[in-house]
Amino acid sequence: MLRVSAVAERAGVPAVSLVSEGFVGQARNTAAGIGMPGLALAVVPSHPDVQSDAELAANVANTTLGMVVDGLTGAVAEVGALSEPDPDAPVFEGTYDEVNRFFTENLWSDGLPIVPPTRERIEAFLAFTDRPADAVLGNALPDNRAATVWSVAVNGVMAGCRPEYMPILVALAEAMVDPAYGNEHSGNTPGAETQIVLNGPLIKQLGFNYEQGALRDGVQANTSIGRFWRLYLRNVAGFLLHQNDKGTFGGTWRVVLAENEDVLAEMKWPTVAVDAGAPEGANAVSVARYTGAHVVVSVFGRTAEECVPYLADALVKYTGWELIFTVGMANGTYRPMLVLSPIIAKTIAASGWTKAMLQQALFEQARMPARLFEQYISGWTNLVPGRRSLFDLARLGKAPKMFGASRDPERLVPIVFEPAHITIAVAGDPLRTNCYCLTHNGMLGFPTTKLVALPDDWRAKLDAARDA
Amino acid sequence: MSASPEIHAVYWPRGRKTVSFAPTSPRPGSLEGKTVAFLWDYLFRGDEIFPMIQQGLAERFPGINVIGYDTFGSTHGEDEHAILAGLPDRLRELKVDAVISGMGC
């Protein structure tokens, strides 16, 4: 919405942005990030969704309208010059405690102590990539900052990573700045959090936990790389609480999920990365933003057919407003993920099922009444205006025909466009029958996979790092 | 006597801005006779708020011309990148003098 105004302004057309009262702070910061801090705002008091028609009309007439007129006809706001530190020179010198106080005061830390990013430590990280320190990986939105190999190393040091994690950190930064991922939406109000999935030989080489407690903090590789992601979001992309990060509640960053590739190989199932197009056996990171996660406890069954109904039920039960990413706001971009514990995955595979067969069965069984789907996208939420039924949306070409097979409100409709849109991962305690269901934030954190590039002398450097 | 604590020279964790600060465009003194485009992300009751604004603007500026949001499509969804990329040309083509963009909530 502010980006629209900025595009118009750059084209020489005055613009004003309509924002609710609670959005003003983020709007000011987003405008500065865009490079146009003087963008005009017109405020709707409180939040429109909780106002009666009369209250809304009065607020628009008494407050918003005047700000619209002033914003489009008033004086142009003056813009000051931007002054920031030189990334190539030390920004501070001090003891460990002083450094941490300085970083906390400048909002460069996540609230935990950071490892001081000294040149010696940064250079140890840079030694684990063949790319030059000043290489620009992309533009980090919404703050519009260059994502460089150098800044990856600085934040990797701060997060408590080891230097040999650097190839993974670079790949993650590349994923973050990929426009397909939609990083500029990472501060949206649902407060979704990114889940990183790692595949490839690096899982074992770097000691990632992929078994019991796979999503728990406590293992340096999984934990510190998860922390790196949020530090990079904070420092380079510019997501700060009360500024660009408007998560209503938010959540702590997620540790890296490493798949159990031994079990996957045993079952001849592809990894998450291979499903996304990575070559077999490649090191790769996959990221997507998830609005929530729920454990599916004690899956009971001796066959695939017996296990699937409960898993399908979880996919339906935990999906609500996210359906606007199936039909409504960004059609076909909803990608929920099920993490199967190895024993459940092997039980399903032992029935002769491939991963594709499981996805097909889940697609067919994870369905809900059309009337409930419509409530999530336009009744209870008002996120798809006009209160159009799924039948009408399908008839108008705004949804696939399978969503409008009849007008029966009780007919069952799928929660995704196609079976492959249900991501399946395998990890966790090998002998526990629990699974995990993550609901997805659609195009506002779309699944993005990047290959991990290792330096030419990776093995030697890794051996040296282990001995250090 | 304890040893002096180690002093760390540390580096800035952010990155250089890729855009410089720019002022907004010059404003007309009045919206009388001007063409104003509504652009909407199809969220948060914009379908009710934009008509209220249109009515209020028409009362203040009787000669105003409004181009509705359906002309452009949703600015927040799978088409948003394409809509933004084509917006400058579209604004020129439609001879738009001012834009009202909503809803940020």
Compute CA distances A322 → A171, A396, A412, whole Å.
Answer: 27, 21, 17
- Through-space distance between the first and last CA atoms of chain B, rounded to whole angstroms: 59
Structure tokens at A273: 């990365």
Average pLDDT across chain B, whole number? 93
ipTM for the whole complex: 0.92
**Computed over its alpha carbons, how large is the radius of gyration of chain A?**
24
Distance of alpha carbon A366 from alpha carbon A317, whole angstroms: 9
CB contact under 8 A, A86 and B12: yes
CB contact under 8 A, B91 and A65: no
Helix (H) or strand (E) holding B104: strand B98-104
Q: By residue range, what is the domain housing residue A37?
A: 2-73
Distance of alpha carbon A453 from alpha carbon A282, whole angstroms: 10
CB contact under 8 A, A65 and B53: yes
Q: Which residues of B touch A81 (CB under 8 A)?
A: 21
The tens digit of pLDDT for each residue in A279-301 reads 999 999 999 999 999 999 999 99
Final residue of a domain: which of A42, A73, A104?
Answer: A73
CB contact under 8 A, A72 and B27: yes
Has residue A239 been placed in a domain?
Answer: yes
Q: In 3D, which of A25, A184, A32, A146 has the Cα closest to residue B24? A: A32
The tens digit of pLDDT for each residue in A212-229 reads 999 999 999 999 999 999
Distance of alpha carbon A5 from alpha carbon A383, whole angstroms: 22
B2 touches chain A (CB under 8 A): no
Q: Which of residues 7-26 of B touch A (CB under 8 A)?
A: 7-26
CB-neighbour burial class of residue A128 (10 A; exposed 0-12, middle 13-18, buried 19+) = buried
3-state secondary structure A157-177: HHHCCCHHHHHHHHHHHHHHH
Per-residue pLDDT band for B78 (boundaries 50, 70, 90) equals confident
CB contact under 8 A, A60 and B49: yes
What lies within 8 Å, CB to CB, of A463 at 6+ separation is: none
Has residue B35 been placed in a domain?
Answer: no
Q: Which residues of A touch B31 (CB under 8 A)?
A: 69, 72-73
Has residue B60 been placed in a domain?
Answer: yes
Task: Suggest the residue from B6, B10, B54, B69 to mutate for an interface test with chain A (most A CBs closer than 10 A).
Answer: B10
Q: Which of residues 39-68 of B touch A (CB under 8 A)?
A: 39, 41-49, 52-53, 56-57, 60
Structure tokens at A233: 């979001």
| Dihedral angle over CA of A387, A17, B50, B76, nearest 10 | -30
Residue with tokens 């992601």: A229
Has residue B4 been placed in a domain?
Answer: no
Helix (H) or strand (E) holding A449: strand A448-451
Q: What residue ranges in A116-245 does DSSP mark as E strands?
A: 136-140, 145-148, 193-199
CB contact under 8 A, B101 and A4: yes
Q: What is the pLDDT of residue A25?
A: 84
Final residue of a domain: which of A53, A73, A93?
Answer: A73
Q: Which residues of B touch A329 (CB under 8 A)?
A: 42-43, 74, 76-78
Per-residue pLDDT band for B1 (boundaries 50, 70, 90) equals low
Distance of alpha carbon A334 from alpha carbon A442, whole angstroms: 4
Q: What is the pLDDT of residue B40?
A: 94
Same domain, A50 and A195: no
A-B contacts at Cβ under 8 angstroms? 282
B1 CA: distance to closest CA in chain A (Å):
18
Has residue B89 been placed in a domain?
Answer: yes
Q: Which residues of B touch A49 (CB under 8 A)?
A: 44-45, 105
Q: Which of residues 57-96 of A touch B (CB under 8 A)?
A: 57, 60-61, 64-65, 68-69, 72-82, 84-87, 89-96
Q: In 3D, which of A47, A29, A40 has the Cα closest to residue B100? A: A40
Residue with tokens 């620009």: A136
B1 touches chain A (CB under 8 A): no
**Residue at B88: amino acid letter:** P
Q: In 3D, which of B60, B57, B39 has the Cα closest to residue A7? A: B39
Has residue B14 been placed in a domain?
Answer: no
In this structure, what DSSP letter does residue A75 have?
Answer: P
Distance of alpha carbon A154 from alpha carbon A145, whole angstroms: 15
Has residue A89 been placed in a domain?
Answer: no
Has residue B32 been placed in a domain?
Answer: no
Q: By residue range, what is the domain housing residue B96?
A: 43-102
Compute CA distances A431 → A207, A300, A347, A434, whole Å.
Answer: 20, 13, 11, 9
Q: Strand pairing partners for A140?
A: A145
Has residue A78 been placed in a domain?
Answer: no
CB A386 within 8 A of CB A333: no
B3 touches chain A (CB under 8 A): no
Q: Which residues of A touch B103 (CB under 8 A)?
A: 1, 18-20, 44, 48
Q: In 3D, which of A133, A172, A132, A175 has the Cα closest to residue A154? A: A133
Has residue A120 been placed in a domain?
Answer: no
Q: Which chain A residue lies closest to B31 (C-alpha atoms)? A: A73
What string of DSSP letters covers A206-222? TT---STTTTSS-SHHH
> At residue B26, does pLDDT exceed 90?
yes
Has residue A441 been placed in a domain?
Answer: yes
Distance of alpha carbon A152 from alpha carbon A225, whole angstroms: 11
Final residue of a domain: which of A73, A108, A129?
Answer: A73
Q: What is the pLDDT of residue A387?
A: 82
Has residue A130 been placed in a domain?
Answer: no
**Residue at A300: amino acid letter:** F
Q: What is the pLDDT of residue A22?
A: 87
Q: Which residues of chain A have pLDDT under 50?
A: none
B30 CA: distance to closest CA in chain A (Å):
6
Determine the angle formed by the axes of helices A166-177 and A119-126, rounding to 10 degrees: 80
Number of compact structural domains in chain B: 1
> At residue B2, does pLDDT exceed 80?
no
Has residue B36 been placed in a domain?
Answer: no
What lies within 8 Å, CB to CB, of A107 at 6+ separation is: A234, A240
Distance of alpha carbon A416 from alpha carbon A334, whole angstroms: 6
Task: Suggest the residue from A46, A73, A99, A334 to mutate for an interface test with chain B (most B CBs closer than 10 A).
Answer: A73
A151 touches chain B (CB under 8 A): yes
Reduced to 3 states, what is the DSSP secondary structure of residue A454? coil
Q: Strand pairing partners for A435?
A: A296, A340
Has residue B2 been placed in a domain?
Answer: no
CB contact under 8 A, A443 and B31: no
Q: Which chain B residue lies closest to A135 (C-alpha atoms)? A: B15
CB contact under 8 A, B104 and A23: yes
Q: Which chain B residue lies closest to A46 (C-alpha atoms)? A: B105
Same domain, A66 and A204: no
What is the β-pairing status of strands A435-440 and A15-20? unpaired
Distance of alpha carbon B17 from alpha carbon B21, whole angstroms: 10
Mean pLDDT of B3-29: 93
Number of compact structural domains in chain A: 2
